[in-house]
């Protein structure tokens, strides 16, 4: 088994408080039906939660139970092999210190959610300064990068579950900073919807993310973004004006196919857009010929 798929679980540190133990057991409990004798394996850990809250007594028996339960995620038939004929579900959560995600598919009748892989990483120094919405968006981007070989070109549109409802504002965003513009272009490689699920019901990814911050059951997610894209297509307001101007200055006969001829009166504005607009995908100066030849970041246009 690929250790990268389960590293987020296998490297889970031993809980130091009752709250941390509750998070771990909440995560494991979601998959209990895939682990033989789950109750017996977890018994030394669940016993610690009985009665009034108290300090954890980390005995050899408890330590062995914790390790054995983690081992079940790598040795038991809990991870399913990705099936291209089934739609994927990507659950993401971003906390103040890290990003976590779970890639899953439904199998059987009725369909049970089986994990295909786990992912986690800490935030960089710069990423710690992102606001909540951008951190959650970063978690989606990181998950899609990690599992790009499965998700890009997937036969069925997949679903992304997040616990941050405010991501919906990005759907109609007209002004993107350079980082968001790069992410917007990256997301166009995938077909997916984004649905909201409260953190209390997003137990698997949330537990991975907040290992020291409480688990949930699978709930019905609420769609917040359409299937077309996470971010609305980058808008180019000049496009309509340029096409209308073709009546006075029509494209030359040698204009390349599928290229937009830019009349002379609009060329200064187009050049400004290429060099300055974050949504152009080029926040740093580039040459107009190389940009037009690449044909990325905006509508195609004829060489001037």
Summarised one tens digit per residue, pLDDT across range 114-141 is: 888 878 788 889 999 998 888 989 999 9
Beta bridge partners of 179: none
Q: Distance between CA 255 and CA 140 in Å, rounded?
A: 40
Cβ proximity of 28 and 208 under 8 Å: no
**Given a cut of 50, is residue 294 above it in pLDDT?**
no
**Given a cut of 90, is residue 289 above it in pLDDT?**
no
| Structure-token pair, residue 119 | 């992912």
Supply φ then ψ for residue 55, to 5 degrees: -70, 140
**Given a cut of 70, is residue 268 above it in pLDDT?**
yes
Q: What is the mean pLDDT of residues 30-57?
A: 78
pLDDT mean across residues, the chain: 73
32-41, 143-152, 181-190: which is most confident: 143-152
Give the model's pLDDT for residue 215: 35
Fold agreement between 3-75 and 88-225: no
- Cis ω before 101 (30° cut-off from 0): no
Edge-to-edge strands, sheet with 222-225: 112-122, 98-107, 88-94, 158-162, 192-196, 222-225
% of the chain surpassing 90 pLDDT: 12
**Given a cut of 60, is residue 296 above it in pLDDT?**
no
Q: Distance between CA 29 and CA 11 in Å, rounded?
A: 18
User: What per-residue string of b and e applies to 279-288 under the rule 16 or more CB within 10 Å gives b?
Assistant: bbbbbeeeee
35-39, 210-214, 235-239, 240-244: which is most confident: 240-244
Window from 44-53, 104-113, 156-165 with minimum mean pLDDT: 104-113
Summarised one tens digit per residue, pLDDT across range 192-204 is: 888 887 655 544 5
**Which residues 6+ apart lie within 8 Å of 249 measured at CB?**
263, 264, 265
Q: What is the mean pLDDT of residues 188-213?
A: 63
CATH of 3-75, one of 3.30.70.270, 3.30.200.20, 2.60.200.30, 3.40.50.300: 3.30.70.270
CATH code 3.30.420.10 for 88-225? yes
Q: In the chain, what are the domain boundaries?
A: 3-75, 88-225, 238-294
Beta bridge partners of 193: 159
Q: What is the mean pLDDT of residues 175-201?
A: 80
Summarised one tens digit per residue, pLDDT across range 56-112 is: 888 899 999 999 888 887 665 567 788 888 999 999 988 887 888 889 998 766 667
| Structure-token pair, residue 38 | 């789950």
Give the model's pLDDT for residue 109: 63
């Amino acid at each position: 088994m690929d250790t990268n798929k389960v590293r987020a679980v296998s490297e889970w540190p031993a809980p130091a408080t009752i709250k941390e133990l509750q998070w771990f057991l909440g995560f494991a409990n979601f998959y209990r039906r895939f682990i033989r004798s789950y109750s017996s394996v977890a018994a030394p850990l669940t016993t610690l939660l009985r009665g009034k809250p108290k300090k954890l007594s980390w005995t050899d028996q408890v330590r062995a139970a914790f390790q054995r339960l983690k081992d079940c995620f790598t040795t038991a038939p809990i991870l399913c092999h990705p099936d291209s004929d089934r739609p994927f579900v990507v659950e993401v959560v971003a906390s103040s210190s890290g990003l976590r995600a779970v890639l899953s598919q439904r199998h059987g009748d009725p369909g049970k959610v089986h994990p295909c892989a786990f992912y986690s990483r800490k935030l960089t120094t710069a990423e710690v300064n992102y606001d909540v919405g951008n951190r959650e968006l970063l978690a989606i981007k990181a998950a899609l990068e990690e599992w790009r070989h499965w998700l890009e070109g997937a036969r069925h549109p997949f679903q992304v579950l997040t616990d941050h409802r405010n991501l919906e504002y990005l759907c109609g965003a007209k002004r993107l900073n350079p980082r968001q513009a790069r992410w917007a272009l990256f997301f166009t490689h995938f077909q997916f919807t984004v649905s909201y699920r409260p953190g209390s019901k997003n137990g698997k990814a949330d537990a991975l993310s907040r290992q020291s911050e409480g688990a949930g059951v699978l709930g019905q997610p609420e769609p917040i973004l359409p299937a077309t894209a996470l971010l609305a297509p980058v808008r180019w307001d000049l496009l309509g004006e340029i096409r209308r101007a073709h009546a006075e200055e029509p494209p030359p006969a040698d204009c390349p196919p599928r290229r937009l001829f830019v009349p002379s009166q609009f060329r200064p504005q187009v050049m400004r857009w290429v060099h300055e607009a974050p949504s152009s995908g080029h926040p740093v100066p580039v040459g107009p010929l190389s940009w037009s030849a690449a044909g990325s970041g905006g509508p195609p246009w004829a060489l001037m």
